[in-house]
């Protein structure tokens, strides 16, 4: 816990940079974390007790200075306001979030190693992040690691977990890789899974499902209209036949 005197002197997120302004060196560093966010926003649309940040500064008091953030590619916090005070966050300061640290952090290894396996691992351990995920699809052999690794903080130490997708009971979600089509291009993505290992749909899949549903509803409406037209035509033929026989259909 932060002492009241220290907390009083800590800067506000209004005065802190939102990130470290370090440019990403590949498009997936923007695409894949935001894809996780979009899926989660649909999946947890009615929940207001979570926040998923992408390339956002996380300010804390376990480093060299509370003004120096760590900037994960993505992080998830539970038990916080989805929109802090009804507004979007510029950054995430632990001391402004009831001391709630992210429960999950994602780091994506790029062309230039960023200390994902040592410096950042040590920092997130001190911070108390429960799940630390490293995604390294291109350079895992260079780093002598696996392309997808999940570390869990157990008794103060990170332990590499096995299984993919990996189920996180404290989060209520699984996380893993999948081959999906995004914008007409097939590629590997990171995705959320349920407890049975079933993948939650991507935005493209949700759109396709909606289109299929609309198409099915349209086909059903067309079929009902055709049946109604057939019944009307049958009734008209019957009326015409009765009149030809000298009968008044309205008197029957």
Question: What's 21's DSSP letter?
Answer: -
Contact 69, 16 (CB under 8 A): yes
State how far the Cα of 146 lies from the Cα of 137, in Å rounded to an integer: 8
Q: What does the CA dihedral 118, 120, 125, 128 come to, rounded to 10 degrees?
A: -170
Q: Tell me the CATH class for 4-200.
A: alpha beta
Q: CATH 3.90.1570 in the chain, residues?
A: 4-200
Residue 241 has pLDDT above 80, yes or no: no
Mean per-residue pLDDT over the chain, rounded: 84
Tell me the per-residue pLDDT of 205-240, one tens digit each, with 9 for 90 and over: 655 555 555 455 566 656 677 776 777 788 778 777
Tell me the per-residue pLDDT of 159-211, one tens digit each, with 9 for 90 and over: 999 999 999 999 999 999 999 888 788 999 999 999 999 999 887 765 555 55
Q: What does the CA dihedral 53, 57, 58, 62 come to, rounded to 10 degrees?
A: 160
Q: How much is the pTM?
A: 0.75
Tell me the per-residue pLDDT of 11-43, one tens digit each, with 9 for 90 and over: 665 655 555 555 545 678 889 999 999 999 999
Q: What does the CA dihedral 46, 49, 52, 56 come to, rounded to 10 degrees?
A: 140
- 49 is written with which tokens? 């007790």
């Amino acid at each position: 816990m932060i002492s009241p005197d220290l907390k009083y002197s800590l800067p506000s997120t209004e005065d802190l940079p939102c990130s470290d302004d370090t440019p990403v060196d590949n498009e997936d560093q923007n695409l894949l974390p935001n894809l996780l966010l979009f899926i989660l926003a649909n999946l947890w649309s009615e929940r207001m007790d979570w926040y998923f940040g992408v390339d956002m500064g996380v300010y804390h008091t376990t480093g060299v200075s509370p003004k120096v953030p760590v900037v994960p590619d993505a992080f998830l916090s539970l038990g916080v306001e989805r929109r802090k005070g009804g507004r979007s966050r510029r950054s995430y300061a632990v001391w402004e979030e009831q001391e709630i640290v992210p429960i999950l952090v994602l780091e994506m290894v790029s062309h230039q190693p960023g200390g994902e396996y040592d410096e950042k691992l040590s920092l997130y351990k001190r911070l108390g992040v429960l799940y630390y995920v490293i995604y390294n699809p291109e350079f895992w052999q260079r780093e002598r690691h696996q392309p997808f690794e999940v570390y869990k903080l157990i008794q103060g130490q990170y332990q590499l977990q096995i299984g993919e997708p990996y189920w996180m009971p404290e989060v209520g979600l699984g996380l893993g890789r999948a081959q999906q089509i995004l914008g007409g291009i097939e590629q590997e993505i990171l995705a959320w899974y349920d407890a049975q290992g079933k993948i939650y749909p991507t935005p493209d899949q949700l759109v396709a499902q909606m289109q299929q549903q609309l198409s099915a509803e349209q086909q059903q409406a067309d079929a009902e209209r055709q049946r109604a037209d057939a019944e009307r035509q049958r009734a008209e033929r019957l009326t015409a036949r009765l009149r030809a026989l000298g009968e008044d259909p309205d008197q029957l």
